[in-house]
Every structure is written in C-alpha cells, then in structure tokens.
Amino acid sequence: MIPKVVVIGAGVYGAAVTASLTRRGASVVLVDAGAPAGGTSGSTFSWTNSSTKHPRSYHDLGVAGMEAHRRLAARVPGSDWYHEGGNLQWADDDDERARLRRKVGGVLDYGYEARWLSRAEVLRLEPDIAPGELPADGIAYFPREGWIEPARLIGYLLSSAVSRGAELVAGDAVIGMVTTAATVRAVRLASGRQLSADAVVNCAGPRAGAIAGLAGLALPMRNTRGVLVHTSPVAVSVSRVVHAPRVHLRPDGGGRLLLHTHEIDGAVRVSGAGEISVDPSAVETILAAGRALYPGTRAATVESIRVGERPIPGDGLPVLGRVVELPNFHFAVSHSGATLSVHAGDLVAAEVLGEDRDDALAAFRFERFRPASRQGEQR
C-alpha cells in the first residue's frame, strides 16, 4: 500500500520533506495557509553555515546540511539557488574580537574550515569594500559558507514533487486533526476538506507549536522577528556573505543587496490592529552602514523591507522526526532551515516511511521537552 502523508507548511522544510517523500514513493498532500515560500522562507537572510551551531551534534547536522546543498546543486542542471561564496566576519571592540577568536577556535577544533585574513587579503576577495572599514588583520573567513535563494530552491523541490504526483493545497489553513488510538487519522482544513493520513509532518515554521497543539502535543517555541532590507540594484562587486560590525549583507540577485543587523530586528513595531512596521530611522542607519562599507552603494535606495518570524524551538535546537506518543506524527522545525532543510528533510522523510534514522535524529527528538517521568512512561 502506498502511504498517504500530509505535510503541513510549504517553506523550505515542507518542500524538502515533500520532495524526498515523493521520490521514495509516498502519496503526499502539501498544505499551506498561504502560498509556497510566503512565510519565513521568503523573509530570511538564508545564510548557509555551521560556524554558529552548538553543541557538536547541531554543528554536525549543519555541516551535513551544507554538503546536501552542494550535492543537490551539482546534480541539478541549471541550479541557480545555491551560492557558496564564503563568509567574512570581523569585530571592532575587544569583547567582540575575543568572542570571534573563541568561535574560530571552536570550529577549527571540530575540523570546520576557517582561517584568518589580513586587510589586503580581504580586499583581493572583496575589492569594493572601503579599506578604512577593515582592521589590519584578525578577519575571519569561512570559505565553504554561503547563502541560498529560498524561493528558487522551493520552486525546484515542489516542481519535482508535483511531477511525481504530490498535491499542493495553498491558501487553506489546517484547523484540526482527527486522532484516535494514539494515531492521527486525518487533517481538517479551513475549507471543510478532510485529508486522510497515514502520517503527518509538521513543517509549519512559526506555527509549529499551534499545529502540534491540534494533535495534543505541547511544543514550546520562542519565535523572534527578523528584519531584512533589500536595496535597489547597485554597481558594486559583492560576492559573499559579509558580517561587519554595523551591518550584515550579501548579494540578493539582480545587483541588489540584502542588509540585516540584530539591532534592526528590535525596530519592529506592531500596532493595536496588528499591523507591522519598522522604525524608519533604523532602516536609514543600516543603509548608511552599508554605504560606508561599500562606498559604491551610495546611490542605493530601499527597494523593500521584509519582516519575517523565525521559528525557534524552546531550547534553540531543531525538533526533528517522529513522536513516541503519537508515532505517525513527525516534526521538521528549526531555526536555520536554510542550512538544514535539504538534509534534515530527507532524514525526516526516511523516518516517516519506516527507516531508522535515530543515529542522526536522536539529539533532536520532541521528547526532550517532556518531563523525565513521562519519558520513562513512554519507553
């Protein structure tokens, strides 16, 4: 019998899980309350890296995620969503420099590729950076990092899945589940449609906690908002991710740049009616920092501002794989989905169809959030 799987959420995780499931022969319905890539995946810096991931199990998952992107991009003719240009990072005060030294030392101990560059070496990589914005040395370089274009990746994964028979249901929210005998039997949609299911995969990003609640599960989430500033096209050479002290940026296609800082995330305002806006002075500050770093962007204007909601499980680590007390319900939820989704999505899909992936997923099980007494009962 061909298993029927309902995947909830059409972001990078949902698309990756769906593509892997259909490739393995499952019958899949992918459901989203909005449009594919219309949520977090369409509003992310999408930096592919594992230099920020701890503990070691999380770091290793990130490394495997980066490798999965390389393999996919190499396998697909004309793939244009993956960019491995490297990442540059430096600091301008003693505390931040010490933190950066610890970061580089830690990943080198893991066997991760990183090295220190001088100002002259950086200018050979990024000749349009203002030399005065760079320290003489102590600039960290992570050459295997980069970024993806999530909408393009999602488009490829979904077209691949649909060509194998997957059904995409957009603009129809999940509002309930039919659960009996510790099994999800069906998923109910706002339209009134009910989807029978042999398995359900929660890839709902920021709404993952709410979707889990429909199945009687309590998933703690501590989501945060992130602000991205997209510039107009500029005639400068920017080839990689750059984490400077006052601005983080990367190319964004068509000559545009994507700008971010943690400070601008705090400039989000929510009105009493729920309307989201960003303090204009914070936008101007980040734009000025970008112009100082790359003087060729002085004529750049703001083309768009996007505010995304980052899905962050309660302890900051991914939640992946099956649930012991509800064995046909599975999670694929994390921050850093841009890095992890292709690899982790494939692991979750394999487990949905009965393969043992505990060696890779044990550290990321939902059960870590359960009281110790309940975990003992479930065993």
Three-state DSSP class for residue 362: helix
User: For 224-310, which CATH class?
Assistant: alpha beta
Q: Looking at residue 372, what is its pLDDT?
A: 60
Is-contact 160 81, C-beta < 8 A? no
Look up residue 197 and give its two tokens.
């299911």
Q: Looking at residue 374, what is its pLDDT?
A: 53
Is-contact 240 146, C-beta < 8 A? yes
Three-state DSSP class for residue 168: strand
The answer as to CATH 3.50.50.60 being correct for domain 4-47+150-222+314-378 is: yes
pTM of the model: 0.95
Is-contact 48 145, C-beta < 8 A? yes
Q: Which residues, 6 or more positions from 39, have their beta carbon under 8 angstroms from its beta carbon?
A: 9, 11, 32, 205, 206, 308, 309
Is-contact 290 247, C-beta < 8 A? yes
Backbone conformation region of residue 182, classed left if phi is above 0, alpha if psi is from -120 to 50, else beta: left
- How confident is the chain (379 residues) per 10-residue block, as mean pLDDT? 94 98 98 96 95 97 98 93 97 96 98 98 98 98 97 97 98 98 98 98 98 98 96 96 98 95 93 92 97 96 96 98 97 97 98 96 96 53
Q: Looking at residue 373, what is its pLDDT?
A: 45
Q: Looking at residue 116, what is its pLDDT?
A: 98
Domain-by-domain residue ranges, the chain?
Answer: 4-47+150-222+314-378, 87-143, 224-310
Rg of the chain over all Cα atoms, to the nearest angstrom: 21
